[in-house]
Structure 1
Amino acid sequence: MKGWRLTLAVMYLLTQIVIVVVECHTVNKHLQIATFYNPLGRIENISTNSKGLMEKELLETLSKKMNFTYDITVSTDVLQFGFSGNESWSGVLGKLARKEADMTISFGPVSYPRFLSFDATVGIFRDHVVIMIPHPESGIDTSGLVSIFSPFTWILIAISLVIVAMALWFVNHFQHDRDDQINGGLLILYILGVTLSQGGCLPQKSAVFRMVLGAWLLALIVLTYAYTGTLISRLTAPKHRFVINSLEDAAANKKIMPFVVKESSVQEEFMLSPTPAFQEIANRWQDHPELLLRDSNGIVDLVAKQKNRIFIGSDMNAGWNIESDRKRGGKCRAILLPDKLVTRNNGLFLQKHSSLTAAFNDENLRLLQAGIARQIEVRHSPSLPACSVSSLSTHSAAPTPLRYDQLNAAFYILAGGCCLSLIVFLLEMLCYYWKRFQSRPIIV
């Protein structure tokens, strides 16, 4: 009998533990749930995005597991979490503060002001703050053919061409064998043909003439191979001309216009950050209120219209907008910079000291442990975005042209050849006049 009593006592104790656990996860209430995304919010002129679909599946999962019904409520002032000001909150957090909602299904990071005013569950989803920029230009255009050499290098090439033409004309004009002289027009045509790699034949017996022409041909070899090599490298491995390469670039360039969703957690992140680049961007938003958007709907259009516009926001929202725009238009008009600015754990928010906080924390932890939250996140997040630039590609604001110091060998060859030919020319002239002096008739 004692054994049976002990068994019944243990079974009763286990039953009570199960009842307590079940009661912890069961709400058995009708809740007011705040959101600012579709499809739950049913907000006009706002498209459904990945966060909205994640919210919908998360809410359905929680309501079934915790046995509660719900109504959806949407803030009318700001379609975001909102800020605190004058002892009141805006957005969906304002509904919690005014006790018009029990919980937000919209998830976000916990900042210090939110921690003081609301309860927050454990983080169930992770997102990153990223920068969206216009799709970078690749390859080269007509101006790119000229920009291979720096302007100073082009000027030196033009001066060298003029000097060579004058030197050859001078030698041709003052040479003593009149039968070997070349027409001036034909000489200039030949020089241009050689310079443009068209070749030609110009027989000339003068050693000076051949020395100047040989030095110019050697210089042309260096310049031609440098030009064609750089051109091939740009055509086969084009540099992507990014508007910016980092947030620091955006902060340093006053012409960059960074968009952000008004009173979003991203804007709050920048306002509270002590980082100088974050503070500079936050000040720019304060100076230019037109950069604060009602929502992220149509952000790709805004970024793609002008090359100095960027968007700073959650990678879930930004990536969803980019992929949706690509599917509609058939091409990529914007991309995300690979570097993440901030990584955040996002939880749900409830009224301060809410009796529901413990129950939702327990259920969220169970969803994390079972991998259900991760499955929801993966289902509604593009794993391999089509609009991306390979990390192996070279990123540059503008191609770097070849400078004089990189091509000085060609000009040294030409200068050396001209100096040597000048010495030979002077020696030939002295030799010629010496022979004339020796062969002069002697009158007695």
Structure 2
Amino acid sequence: MLHTFANNLNFTYVLREPLDEKWGTPADDGNWTGIVGDLQHQQADFSLDLTLTESRSRVMDHSRIYNYDPYVILSLKPSSLPRHLALTRPFKGEVWIAIIVCTPVMGLILWLLQKAWSWALSERDVSLVTPLFHTWGILLSEPSPTLPTKASGRVLMGWWLLTCVIITAAYHSSLIAHLSVQSKYPPINTFQDLLNRDGWSWGIYDLTGTNFLYFNGSSDPDIQEIYQHMQNMENSDAEEWLERVLHGGFSLLDLKTWIQIQVAKRYTDKDGNTPFHISTTEYPVFGGNISKMKQRLIEAGLLSLWLDELLKNEFKQNNTEEEGKEQPLYTEHESGQVVLTLDHLQGAFYLSLLGCCLAFGAFLIEILIHNYYTQ
């Protein structure tokens, strides 16, 4: 782009790096290091690809902002939730707690009603076990053939039956969906998502220049906490840190364009599939450059065209280098109708096995008690 500007605007240039090889951060005496320092002390006329910040604007003039390149979070794509827990996923934890608590409470209320009638009519006392079995049986769609004889008990059971019909209908419909389409863990899309993950870590490729100013100078408490636990990977290879993301438990923070290029270069197959997830939330950082010529390029759509061509070239180069090698496929499972297999229903079989073990244990206890009293 600079070569195009020089030809059209008729100027020559010498391109060099700053002597300290830094982008530019403020020093204690009001001076700046790196590129910003060269511009501040007029050791250079202009610079390209230098991000606009509020503090930098005090010592240098920026042209129009031309490229939107925000910070994003690169993480491993969400993995599938364990299938053996599919039986519990239709309801949230508080719903399960409410069902477990309310069912025996309803049995206890029914028993108290029957006991009150027995006391009032001087009839035989009622066992607590039978009302409890009534309420659990209705919940499990296996009601007992013997119902309470008094009107109050029948009304109570009628309302409990209506409640159980609603609960079981909601559970069955949701269970079919959870068994048919495999659920996944929620993706990481914000800084708050990072902070909410237990045992999760994150890093940035280069915590200098604008990266340092953005995280160190922010007043947002989430960004400050992210910065305090940030791992700096300045002296490491980018592929090494992408491998850390691939192994899970780690996220990479950086500019969106840089991340897209690195992923396209190393971890994208010929179909465009990748194991990584780029956050949908973007944290903007602004940049500036030569104004009128650049504005024309933006309005003509050339910047977007060049960026798309760059990513396509990375795809092609990566596929050419890896041609003939075994390529991992990262294709997502599409949602739709599937045939339920033993893998889908392993939770039900685990539950059935647990019930058999408990029943066998109860059977052994009954035998021991029977033998003890018959000797």
Name the TM-score class by shorter chain: 0.5 to 0.7
2:214 maps to 269
- After superposition, the C-alpha distances for 1:171-227 in whole angstroms (9 at most, x for unaligned) are 99999999xxx9999997776544312456x25694567555444423322332344
Tell me: CA distance 1:25–1:160, structure 2 relative to 1, closer, same or farther (3 Å).
same
Match of 2:163 among 219, 231, 252: 219
Match of 1:153 among 98, 103, 123: 98
1:351 maps to none
1:355 maps to none
- Displacement after TM superposition at 1:336 (Å): 1.0
- After superposition, the C-alpha distances for 1:79-124 in whole angstroms (9 at most, x for unaligned) are x63424365624x66788999999766x232335545666766554
- After superposition, the C-alpha distances for 1:365-412 in whole angstroms (9 at most, x for unaligned) are 665566543421332358xxx999xxxxxxxxxxxxxxxxxxxxxxxx
- After superposition, the C-alpha distances for 1:17-48 in whole angstroms (9 at most, x for unaligned) are xxxx9694242x6x4444xxxxxxxxxxxxxx
Tell me: CA distance 1:232–1:313, structure 2 relative to 1, closer, same or farther (3 Å).
same
2:27 maps to 85
CA distance in structure 2 between the partners assigned to 1:362 and 1:205 by the alignment? 87
1:334 maps to 277
1:352 maps to none
The reply to whether residue 291 of structure 1 matches residue 231 of structure 2 is yes
Residue type at the aligned position of 1:25: N
The reply to whether residue 196 of structure 1 matches residue 140 of structure 2 is yes
2:10 maps to 25
- SS of equivalent to 1:150: helix
- SS of equivalent to 1:109: strand
- Displacement after TM superposition at 1:132 (Å): 4.0
- Displacement after TM superposition at 1:322 (Å): 4.8
CA distance in structure 1 between the partners assigned to 2:57 and 2:116 by the alignment? 88
CA distance in structure 1 between the partners assigned to 2:331 and 2:40 by the alignment? 40
The reply to whether residue 163 of structure 1 matches residue 104 of structure 2 is no
C-alpha contact 2:38 2:44 (8 A) present in aligned 1? yes
CA distance in structure 1 between the partners assigned to 2:92 and 2:8 by the alignment? 73
Stretches of structure 1 lacking an aligned partner (at least 5 in a row) = 1-20, 35-73, 348-359, 389-444
C-alpha contact 2:108 2:132 (8 A) present in aligned 1? no
TM-score (normalizing by structure 1) = 0.47
C-alpha contact 1:128 1:314 (8 A) present in aligned 2? yes
1:373 maps to 303
- SS of equivalent to 2:166: helix
- SS of equivalent to 1:163: helix
**Percent of pairs identical after alignment?**
15
Residue type at the aligned position of 1:153: A
CA distance in structure 1 between the partners assigned to 2:222 and 2:248 by the alignment? 21
- Displacement after TM superposition at 1:342 (Å): 1.8
Root-mean-square deviation over aligned CA pairs:
5.6
Match of 1:127 among 44, 51, 69: 69
CA distance in structure 2 between the partners assigned to 1:387 and 1:341 by the alignment? 28
- After superposition, the C-alpha distances for 1:260-298 in whole angstroms (9 at most, x for unaligned) are 33114233234445xx31x6524653x44x522317824
- SS of equivalent to 1:259: strand
Tell me: CA distance 1:93–1:193, structure 2 relative to 1, closer, same or farther (3 Å).
same
- After superposition, the C-alpha distances for 1:276-324 in whole angstroms (9 at most, x for unaligned) are 31x6524653x44x522317824554456555x5444322123344555
1:418 maps to none
- SS of equivalent to 1:160: helix
Larger Rg: 1
TM-score (normalizing by structure 2) = 0.53
Stretches of structure 2 lacking an aligned partner (at least 5 in a row) = 1-5, 313-329, 333-375
Structure in which a larger fraction of residues adopt strand? 1
- SS of equivalent to 1:342: coil
CA distance in structure 1 between the partners assigned to 2:141 and 2:265 by the alignment? 50
C-alpha contact 2:110 2:156 (8 A) present in aligned 1? no
CA distance in structure 2 between the partners assigned to 1:186 and 1:253 by the alignment? 46
- SS of equivalent to 1:197: coil
CA distance in structure 2 between the partners assigned to 1:162 and 1:206 by the alignment? 15
